[in-house]
Amino acid sequence: MSRAVSLSGHAARPAAKGFWATLQKFDALRRQRTHLAMLDDAALHDIGLTREDAQTEARRPVWDAPQHWAK
């Protein structure tokens, strides 16, 4: 069994790994929402969204995500 090791050489605690995983998910969601806001009207139409829908989604805070996205 392998152990996660932090930069300080100490074993990483499970809570710390969960914290970093959460930050990575927040960053990924932020990037996705930014890209959604940058789509042109034709691309938005292709996925069934209006410009207003995209802007509304892009303005949501990163912690405001559907529960099923957390998996």
Task: State the pLDDT at residue 34.
Answer: 95
Residue 57 lies in a domain: yes
Residue 43 lies in a domain: yes
Q: What percent of the chain shows pLDDT beyond 90?
A: 54
Predicted model pTM: 0.68
Residue 19 lies in a domain: no
Residue 29 lies in a domain: no
Average pLDDT (28-35) is: 94
Residue 23 lies in a domain: no
**Residue 7 three-state SS:** coil
Residue 11 banded pLDDT, cuts 50, 70, 90:
low
Question: pLDDT at residue 54 above 90?
Answer: yes
Q: How does pLDDT run across 55-64, given as a tens digit for each residue?
A: 999 999 988 9
**Parent domain of 48:** 37-63
Residue 10 lies in a domain: no
The span from the CA of 52 to the CA of 47, in Å, is: 13
Total number of domains constituting the chain: 1
